[in-house]
């Protein structure tokens, strides 16, 4: 059983979570509730939970204030947030689980199941990335957590050169790392990175526009990257890519 504490300053949110967990998550045992940072710290120290559902903004501080009170975070965390859409990117890039208010029971169930599987040692890296990304909401240089079977990588998006599809995997090339193979499809990285300067030049290739050295027109088109790799450009993407070049040149 996952011994669980709910920390949120809204009574109706806590009540909703209690009801949903009871209905959909039989592996959860609720051992406490709290309505703020101070009461939350006390509840965690008294109850020693396996899982904490933690609100981001509360009357007496933030979820981050609460976490900073602990030298070691030895419990799993699912953040609860009403942040606007652009702020949610910080959570996605950091690979940290979160639930949007109002709470969706299916999303809650999925997050709890992931928490059961989570190796807690990875959370420190994810939390640091989340803090930095929230501070960088208005910039394109975010940090992204890349998890493989053997390692956890924390990369600046500006350092990623190219992502390539390999069936159900994605191969990520960056300035400072060798190729990283991740068990996620390219579409997920396309959705995540397209608004921070990446472009899908081909169904199998996602490139960082900052790392394009030149465009070669022969054979339908190729982009040459900063590491001298040549990437094919599909006929569908070619026109849009040239428009992007014109836009950059105009600036």
Count the helix, strand and coil residues of the chain and give each as a percent rounded to the nearest 5: 40, 30, 25
Q: Which two tokens stand for residue 27?
A: 């592996």
Backbone angles phi, psi at 217, to 5 degrees: -80, -20
Q: Which two tokens stand for residue 105?
A: 């029971």
Using an 8 Å Cβ cutoff, are 55 and 17 in contact?
no
Using an 8 Å Cβ cutoff, are 115 and 147 in contact?
no
Using an 8 Å Cβ cutoff, are 11 and 40 in contact?
no
Question: What is the per-residue pLDDT across 57-116, written as a single tens digit (0 to 9) for each?
Answer: 899 988 888 988 888 888 888 888 887 665 676 676 565 788 888 999 999 999 998 888
Q: What is the DSSP letter of 95?
A: T
- CATH number for the 2-135 domain, one of 3.40.50.410, 3.40.50.720, 3.30.360.10, 3.40.50.2300? 3.40.50.2300
Backbone angles phi, psi at 48, to 5 degrees: 50, 65
Backbone angles phi, psi at 189, to 5 degrees: -75, -30
Report the SS3 class of residue 20: helix
The residues of the chain that CATH labels 3.40.50.2300 are 2-135
Question: What is the per-residue pLDDT across 135-148, written as a single tens digit (0 to 9) for each?
Answer: 655 556 688 888 88
Please name the residue that has the structure tokens 């050295």. 213
**Average pLDDT of the segment spanning 163-176:** 92
The pTM (predicted TM-score) of the whole model is: 0.58
The residues of the chain that CATH labels 2.40.50.1020 are 155-250
Using an 8 Å Cβ cutoff, are 6 and 30 in contact?
yes
pLDDT grade, residue 154 (50/70/90)?
confident
Pairing of strands 2-7, 51-55: parallel
Question: What is the per-residue pLDDT across 1-57, written as a single tens digit (0 to 9) for each?
Answer: 899 999 999 999 999 999 999 999 999 999 999 999 999 999 999 999 999 999 988
Superfamily of domain 155-250: LytTr DNA-binding domain (2.40.50.1020)
Q: Which two tokens stand for residue 198?
A: 């990446």
């Amino acid at each position: 059983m996952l011994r669980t504490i709910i920390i949120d300053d809204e009574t109706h949110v806590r009540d909703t979570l209690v009801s949903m967990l009871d209905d959909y998550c039989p592996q959860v045992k609720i051992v406490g509730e709290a309505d703020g940072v101070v009461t939350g710290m006390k509840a965690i120290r008294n109850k020693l939970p396996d899982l904490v559902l933690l609100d981001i903004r509360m009357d007496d501080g933030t979820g981050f204030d609460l976490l900073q009170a602990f030298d070691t975070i030895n419990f799993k965390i699912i953040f609860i947030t009403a942040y606007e859409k652009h702020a949610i990117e910080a959570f996605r890039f950091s690979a940290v689980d979160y639930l949007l208010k109002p709470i969706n029971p299916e999303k809650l169930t999925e997050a709890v199941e992931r928490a059961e599987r989570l190796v807690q040692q990875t959370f420190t890296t994810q939390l640091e990335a989340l803090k930095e990304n929230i501070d960088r909401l208005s910039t394109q240089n975010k940090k992204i957590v890349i998890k493989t079977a053997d390692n956890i990588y924390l990369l600046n998006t500006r350092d990623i050169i190219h992502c390539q599809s390999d069936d159900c995997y994605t191969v990520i090339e960056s300035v400072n790392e060798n190729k990283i193979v991740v068990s996620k499809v390219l579409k997920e990285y396309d959705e995540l990175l397209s608004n921070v300067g990446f472009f899908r030049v081909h169904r199998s290739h996602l490139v960082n526009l900052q790392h394009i050295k030149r465009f070669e027109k022969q054979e339908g088109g190729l982009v040459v990257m900063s590491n001298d790799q040549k990437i094919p450009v599909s006929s569908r993407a070619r026109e849009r890519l040239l428009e992007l070049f014109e836009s950059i040149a105009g600036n």
